[in-house]
Structure 1
C-alpha cells in the first residue's frame, strides 16, 4: 500500500508525489480532488513519478480569484512543476481536468511531454449545453451537492454503486464538502469552455491520447473523436461498457491503457530531452 502525505507549493496548491522516472501529473474533475486517483497512483508509481494535486477551489488548495479563467488553472500547474523543479511532464486530465490539461498544452507547451484527456468535453450539442448550464444554475442556488444523486448515476454503473456503497457515500460527501464559490467558479468554466481555443489545438506537438467510456453520457465517444481530430497524431480509445468515472470504477483497465500509451510515448520524450536510447 502506498501511503502519501500531502505537501504544498508556495502558492498553496496541495499535492501528492511518489515514484521515479518520467513525471506524470494527474488532474481531477470538478467537485472531486486528488484522492480520486488512488487506483492510478498504485498502478503508475512503479514506473513513473506520479503527481496528483487539488485544482483551484477544490480539496486543500486555495480558491480561485473571481473571474479566473482556464489560463489561471493552467498557471497553477505551471507553478506546481516549478516548485518540483520539473521542466516537463506528461499531463493526464479527467473531465474538467481535461480542459485544464488542454489549456496547459496551449499556454505552456514548452513544459509538456505528453497529453492524456480522459472523459472530457468538446463541442457540446445545444441540448448538452442546455443541460450543463441548468446544472450550473442549480449549483449556484443550492450548493455543490445540488446534483449529487444525478451525477453519481451518470458517473457510475448501477452495479458498481450497489457493490461499493461506502465509496459512493465518500464521493457524495466530497461533493457536498466543496467550497461553494470555488466549486461554482470551476463548474462555470466546465459548463462553458468546451471549445476553449479550439482552433489552436492543431499546434499541440506532443504524443496525445483522448479516451472515454462507451457509456459516458456527458463526455461521449463522439466528443473524443472530434477533439482528437483537432490534435495532430492524437490516438482515440473508447473503453467498452465504461461510464464517466472509469478511472475509479475500472482502474486496472484504465491503467493498462495509460501504461501502453506512456510506454509508446517514452521514445519521443527521451528524444525531446536529448537522451539517446
Structure 2
C-alpha cells in the first residue's frame, strides 16, 4: 500500500498511506494534522503499512457538527478502515488521538490488533481539569491560535524550539489555520473525555502500550501508569527527558519503542492464533 499524495475516503477523510505489511494507523493530536507523523512514516514504513489521516475538523477532513461525541471520531476511523479494506489494524493515537484510539478499542474491538496510546490524558486532577477548561474557553472566544505560544512551550523543549524555528513556525501556522468550530468541538472532547468509559477499559484484550515523556506536563507519567493499570497486560513506557511532542522532537527514540512493541505484539498474536514463526 504505497501512496505519495493524500487521498479521500467516500466520507471525505483525508489520509496518506505508505509501506507494506501489517497495517498501523496513526491519529494526531488536537490542532495538528496527519503531517505530524512524518518521522514515524519514515521509520515504520519499511516494516509496516502506515496510514495517517486527518481527524474530523482538522487538515483536509470534514468539519464535525457541533456536539459530535467521541464515538463520531471513532466511527471516522472505522470508515477509513472499511474504505481501505483493512480487517484489523494496530492503532496508535497521540494526545487527543489517544482518546479516539481508546474509544475505537471499546466500540470496535474486532477491528483492533494492537493499541498504542502516546502522550495522552487520563484522570486529570481538579487543577489540571480547571486549566484545560480555561483553555477551552479561550479557544471559544479567540480562536484556535489563542493558546499557541503556551502550547508550544509545553509541547517542545526550549532547545528544540531554538534549533528548529522554521518547524515551530509551521506548527504555529497549522494551529492558527484550523477551522474554529471544528477545533473547538474537538478541543471540548479533549478537555472532558479523559475518563471516557473508564469502567470498560478492562475489556481491551489486545497488546497495549501506554507511553509518555518524563517531562510531559499535561500527559504525565502518572496518568500513563494509571491508564495502563486499567488495561490487562498493558505495557508502560516513560521516555527519559521527553516532552509532549516526542514523536516530532525525538522520532528515532519513539520509532524504536514502537518497533519493539509491534514486534512483540505480533509474536503474542501469532501465539494466540497457534502460528509458529
Local SS of the residue matching 2:60: coil
Rounded Cα–Cα distance in structure 2 between residues aligned with 1:271 and 1:12: 38
TM-fit CA distance, 1:268: 3.0
Residue in structure 2 matched with residue 185 of structure 1 by the alignment? 185
Where in structure 2 are the equivalents of 1:190-205 lying within 5 Å?
Answer: 190-205=190-205
Counterpart position of 1:106: 106
- The Cα shift of 1:276 comes to 4.6
Structure 2 Cα separation of the partners of residues 136 and 103 of structure 1? 21
Partner of 1:270: 270
For 1:141, the equivalent position in structure 2 comes to 141
Per the TM alignment, residue 67 of structure 1 is displaced from its structure 2 partner at its CA by: 1.6
What value does the CA root-mean-square deviation take over the aligned residues? 1.2
CA distance in 2, matches of 1:181, 1:228: 33
Give 5+ residue unaligned stretches, structure 2: none
Alpha carbons of structure 1 residues 26 and 272: separation in structure 2 relative to 1, 3 Å: farther
**What SS is found at the alignment partner of 2:241?**
coil
Contact 2:138 2:146 in 1 (8 A): yes
- In structure 2, the residue matched to 1:212 is 212
Correspondence for 1:81: 81
Q: Secondary structure at the match of 1:60?
A: coil
Question: SS at 1:15's partner residue?
Answer: strand
User: What's the CA shift string for 1:24-72, capped at 9, x where partnerless?
Assistant: 0000000000000000000000000000000000000001122211110
**Partner residue of 2:44?**
44
Distance, in Å, in 2 between the alignment partners of 1:118 and 1:181 is 25
Name stretches of at least 5 consecutive residues in structure 1 with no aligned partner: none
User: 3-state DSSP class of the match of 1:129?
Assistant: helix
Q: TM-score of the superposition, structure 1-length normalised?
A: 0.98
How far residue 4 of structure 1 moved from its aligned partner, in angstroms, is 2.2
Count residues in correspondence: 276
Query: Normalising by the residue count of structure 2, what TM-score does the alignment of the two structures yield?
Result: 0.98
Structure 2 CA distance for partners of 1:247 and 1:200, relative to 1, 3 Å: same
Deviation at 1:88?
0.3
1:275 deviation in Å? 4.7
2:96 matched residue in structure 1: 96
